[in-house]
Copies of this chain bind each other. A is one copy, B any other.
Amino acid sequence: MKETDDIRSLAAATQQLDPMDRKILAVLVEDATVSYAELGKRVGLSAPAAHERVKRLKKSGAIRRMAALIDPGAVGKGLLAFIHVDTSGWGKTPALMAIAECPEVEEVHSVAGDACMLLKVRAASTRALEGLLARLYDTPGVKATRSYVVLSTYLERPPQPGVTLSWPVPKAARPVEIAQ
């Protein structure tokens, strides 16, 4: 094995995806059930070539996994809320992190700003949300919370492969994307 192998493989894991990869990702993010033949047709590749690309994207971690996206309402979780948590001292305590065990907690971030932690939670009812808040206040170090209950959701989607190019956009202009 030559030393360039290590360099190349390391670079491969980090390197930018080529346009073909982005096209493939764009398709699979929208619909992961397409056959490789169909995927290949859409991006201009044969089925085995498309398959090879996808395999590589999975191995490199660019594709984390294929998942079913379910309707929260269908599983009885009609209430969505974001919760800002203020903590005394360092926020990332095991006791606080334990709330990640609740299936209603979908996201836990530490953020810069006037809050320490930011939670995205989806619960069955205000009653359940109250239960979660009670649980939070029971956690040592939690000083205060502010809840933002979602009234309606206009957009909600997983990470997209596209990136806006021309950023400082003139008033009311439509942004331009790459990676179609």
A residues with CB within 8 A of B: 16-17, 22, 25, 28-33, 60-72, 74-77, 80, 82, 84, 92, 95, 97-98, 100-115, 118, 122, 124, 127-128, 130-132, 134-135, 138-139, 146-164, 167-172, 174-175, 177, 179
Checking B61, B74, B175 against A135 with a beta-carbon cut-off of 8 angstroms, the contacting residue is B175
Dominant secondary structure of chain A at its interface with chain B: mixed
Contact between B70 and A25, CB atoms less than 8 A apart: yes
Report the separation of the CA atoms of residues A171 and B72 in the bound assembly, to the nearest whole angstrom: 28
Given A69-B64, A95-B172; A102-B164 close (CB under 8 Å)? yes
CB-based nearest B residue for A72: B159
Given A108-B154, A113-B146, A153-B109; A135-B82 close (CB under 8 Å)? no
Contact between B63 and A69, CB atoms less than 8 A apart: yes
Given A127-B167, A162-B103; A67-B150 close (CB under 8 Å)? no
Q: List 6 A-B contacts (CB under 8 A).
A: A30-B65, A33-B66, A82-B111, A95-B172, A138-B169, A138-B170
Give every chain B residue within 8 A of A139 (Cβ-Cβ).
172
Checking B62, B135, B164 against A104 with a beta-carbon cut-off of 8 angstroms, the contacting residue is B164
Report the separation of the CA atoms of residues A31 and B63 in the bound assembly, to the nearest whole angstrom: 12
Q: List 15 other contacts, CB 8 Å, given A29-B70, A75-B179, A104-B163.
A: A29-B67, A29-B68, A30-B67, A31-B67, A32-B32, A62-B70, A66-B67, A84-B148, A106-B157, A107-B155, A118-B150, A128-B163, A132-B167, A138-B171, A158-B158
